[in-house]
A and B are shown apart, each in its own frame.
Chain A
């Protein structure tokens, strides 16, 4: 295996961007990631992005993203209609071929343009489930109920939300932050039982970019590269009634394959509060692990970029020396159906 590291990370998000379109949001983020990487724009060996047409309501939405990259002379470029975390996976695989030593990965999306929970209902089986229009919040609520019934209580969910908001105060890209206590949050009305508004992710617009470099290139350009020590992803069965919703078998499996142990920091892509403890359990994270110091997806949720952001956030704590070993997680599909786990570490580990 060729050693690949994250050598830079840039992001921008806001609750709603009225003036700029997706490309205009993306341009400075890509520029910043490239600038911080120490690798010239034209030297980047491979470019891959993650985005979703249905966020923009237009087919081929990813094509305009290319304008932010300066794809001239022509570049090696690909795209997945998935969270950028999977684009990063494709870049990591590509770097294993050994002929190129750097890659740019980016995501962008404006969830504010449409009715996101309704849009996501159309991920469901088109014959049996999509016509029922089960929006993503209601689907998550089903899972939260299953989890509560498995012996948990809503206080744990409120704790997750409170912790996220506190941590998010230090995150300039957070859309939600504050000092509300779990008790105060529990006094809020339900949105879709048993979820309250704070248990759900905020609508966010934004973009995120990461630069990967391999082996010596990474060492040349970055003082403390965040090495990818393990990366794996697994998908589960689609039907909500077929899966065990209170646990995450695929996150557990991906975590085992990626080798999650001995991490100090975890950035978990848990758009709903109850998914945080589900994932901590699946990844076997002890209480000593600092979970979602960025505030996580409850603080800002750039759909199609939130998973890549978790990788970036985890990597940045390695790069600035705050952590020695971290795990980043990304999810896709209703109720944690598809999970990607990425273990990052500094040189010593």
Chain B
């Protein structure tokens, strides 16, 4: 049966729209070095390296594990590169955790990154495909119709997205690594920002960031001896469904629901609202906070927006969401999923500094990708099962 995996080191870069001060390798090493330092380990302690990132066209480097082997201390070691679209940061953590859970290795370094400034991510995301009409306009062009459908289904007031944007952006001010730190953020500022894909405004959208995230995962034995309290991985799950098929509900996807049910069952969570202390979820467009709260089963369908509206998801609320500022504040696409998983682990290790949720002991990390079709999640806890 599955072994227990521990998170003993966490690191990330200072995320910015462009990091011309480092190469792609340098960006990855910045995060990895911080994770190793946090774990009080060195490169030679690591048995295997698992990296992940979104499409290679975002940097123009084909299969970058080949180029990065030296920089990530992987020479002579096993190295894997995961790619599951937007959920990849999460899936990468799961593949890495899988090596511990399967008893294959004792110490694994996992890094997820994106250095989007090196190529043109917007172009890569919306390249017109031959024979198709030019209707796409980036990820927002796909998701805003789904948001529109959610608003209709739930009868949510039109300002919910704005509330999420303000909350996440205020949280980012407490996260020294976050990309967008907008000191003067306010409801008015968000309302006045240009409408990009109705109903998504500019300030309700994620940025394009250069950044990396890294974690050191270990076996139970090593985790128990770790210098600092580890985050124990209580559950891991991945689910996928096809992009399109007749009758698909892309607004509240089954794959997300199944994935959440699986990860909660593994972690012994029967009442997520009570037992999960905080959530880091993948919200690239503001409205996805209430949408995912429902999809994950924290609230009944149609009620997600009420949590946002009453302030329950604020840093000091009953169920904080995206304490780090989330994807709305920082979005190196390949790393964003892992940042969610890492931030959840930071919370239960008490390392989240100014954006720490008091007394957080169990947290959910969530990532999604593609056309709301790929989901990866983990539950981490300060308490060993």
A and B touch in the complex (CB under 8 A): yes
Chain A residues within 8 Å of B, Cβ to Cβ: 1, 47, 52-54, 58-60, 62-64, 66-67, 71-82, 86, 89-90, 93-94, 96-99, 119-120, 122-127, 130, 232-239, 242, 249-250, 253, 332-334, 337-338
Residues from chain B with Cβ under 8 Å of A334 in the complex: 66
Our pick among A60, A98, A333 for the contact of B63 (Cβ within 8 Å) is A333
In the bound complex, CA of A97 to CA of B241 (Å): 23
Select from chain B the residue with minimum beta-carbon distance to A77: B240
29 A-B residue pairs with CB within 8 Å: A53-B55, A59-B55, A63-B243, A67-B242, A71-B240, A72-B241, A72-B245, A73-B241, A74-B239, A77-B374, A78-B84, A78-B91, A78-B95, A78-B238, A81-B63, A81-B83, A93-B102, A97-B2, A98-B1, A123-B61, A126-B24, A232-B78, A234-B76, A235-B74, A235-B76, A237-B75, A238-B68, A338-B65, A338-B69
Ordered nearest first, which 3 A-B pairs have the shortest CB separation? A96-B102, A59-B55, A74-B255
Cβ of B241 and Cβ of A237 under 8 Å apart?
no
Cβ of B81 and Cβ of A80 under 8 Å apart?
yes
- 1/0 per residue, CB under 8 A from A, across B298-319: the answer is 0000000000000000000000
Cβ of A79 and Cβ of B78 under 8 Å apart?
no
Cβ of B238 and Cβ of A79 under 8 Å apart?
no
Cβ of B103 and Cβ of A1 under 8 Å apart?
yes
B338 to nearest A CB, angstroms? 15
Select from chain A the residue with minimum beta-carbon distance to B236: A97
Cβ of A126 and Cβ of B76 under 8 Å apart?
no
A233 to nearest B CB, angstroms? 5
Cβ of A59 and Cβ of B127 under 8 Å apart?
yes
- Tally of B interface residues using CB under 8 Å: 62
Cβ of A66 and Cβ of B98 under 8 Å apart?
no
Cβ of A238 and Cβ of B240 under 8 Å apart?
no
Chain B residues within 8 Å of A, Cβ to Cβ: 1-2, 23-24, 54-63, 65-70, 74-85, 91, 94-95, 98-99, 101-104, 118, 124-125, 127, 129, 237-243, 245, 253-255, 258-259, 370, 373-374
Residues from chain B with Cβ under 8 Å of A96 in the complex: 101-104
Cβ of B79 and Cβ of A54 under 8 Å apart?
no
Our pick among B24, B57, B63, B370 for the contact of A82 (Cβ within 8 Å) is B63
Residues from chain B with Cβ under 8 Å of A239 in the complex: 70
In the bound complex, CA of A89 to CA of B370 (Å): 24
In the bound complex, CA of A99 to CA of B265 (Å): 13
Residues from chain A with Cβ under 8 Å of B95 in the complex: 78, 90, 93
Residues from chain A with Cβ under 8 Å of B370 in the complex: 60, 63
In the bound complex, CA of A165 to CA of B151 (Å): 63
B46 to nearest A CB, angstroms? 13
Residues from chain B with Cβ under 8 Å of A98 in the complex: 1-2
Cβ of A74 and Cβ of B66 under 8 Å apart?
no
Select from chain B the residue with minimum beta-carbon distance to A121: B62
Residues from chain B with Cβ under 8 Å of A71 in the complex: 240-242
B193 to nearest A CB, angstroms? 28
In the bound complex, CA of A221 to CA of B7 (Å): 38
Knowing A82-B81, A126-B24, the reply to whether A75 touches B239 (Cβ < 8 A) is: yes
Select from chain A the residue with minimum beta-carbon distance to B72: A235
Knowing A235-B74, A236-B69, A238-B70, the reply to whether A82 touches B239 (Cβ < 8 A) is: no
7 new A-B contacts, CB < 8 A, other than A59-B56, A123-B61, A125-B67, are: A63-B243, A73-B258, A81-B83, A86-B80, A96-B104, A97-B1, A239-B70
Cβ of A337 and Cβ of B83 under 8 Å apart?
no
Residues from chain A with Cβ under 8 Å of B56 in the complex: 52-54, 59, 81
Knowing A80-B81, A81-B81, the reply to whether A53 touches B70 (Cβ < 8 A) is: no
Residues from chain A with Cβ under 8 Å of B77 in the complex: 234-235
A312 to nearest B CB, angstroms? 20
B226 to nearest A CB, angstroms? 23
In the bound complex, CA of A333 to CA of B374 (Å): 28
In the bound complex, CA of A79 to CA of B52 (Å): 10
Residues from chain A with Cβ under 8 Å of B59 in the complex: 126
Our pick among A54, A119, A234 for the contact of B78 (Cβ within 8 Å) is A234
Cβ of A79 and Cβ of B84 under 8 Å apart?
yes
Cβ of B243 and Cβ of A94 under 8 Å apart?
no
A63, A233, A242 interface centre (most CB from chain B within 10 Å):
A63
